[in-house]
Copies of this chain bind each other. A is one copy, B any other.
Amino acid sequence: MTPQRASVKDVAAAAGVSVGTVSNVLNRPESVADKTRAKVEKAMEELNFHRNASARQLRAGVSRTVGAIVMDVGNPYYTELARGIEDRLAVDDHTLILCSSDDDPRREARFLRLLAEQGVRGVLVTPMSTTKDRLAALRRLGIPSVLMDSSSSEHAAVGVDHVSGGRQAVAHLLTHGHRRILFLAGPAELQQTRHRLKGAIEAIQTVGLDPSEVLKVITLPALTANDGQQGLIEALGSGWDPTAVFCMNDITALGAMRELRVRGLSVPSDMAVVGYDDLYFAAELMTPLTSVRQPMRQLGWAAADLLLTDTRHDLFEPELIVRASSDFERA
Contacts and interface: CB of A to CB of B under 8 A. Distances in A.
Interface string A81-114: 0110010001000011111100000000010011
A48 interface: yes
Nearest to A255: B284
A99 B94 CA distance: 12
Contacts of A98: 73, 96-98
Interface in A1-41: 1, 3-5
A73 B80 CA distance: 8
B257 A3 contact: no
Chain A contact-residue range equals: 35 or more
Given A100-B83, A254-B281, A52 B95 contact: no
Interface of A: 1, 3-5, 48, 50-55, 57-58, 63, 65, 73-74, 76, 79-80, 82-83, 86, 90, 95-100, 110, 113-114, 116-119, 137, 139-143, 225, 251, 254-255, 257-258, 261, 279-281, 283-286
24 contacts: A3-B140, A5-B142, A50-B116, A52-B58, A52-B119, A53-B54, A54-B55, A65-B97, A73-B73, A73-B79, A73-B82, A74-B76, A74-B280, A83-B100, A90-B110, A95-B114, A98-B98, A251-B284, A254-B281, A254-B284, A254-B285, A257-B286, A258-B284, A281-B281
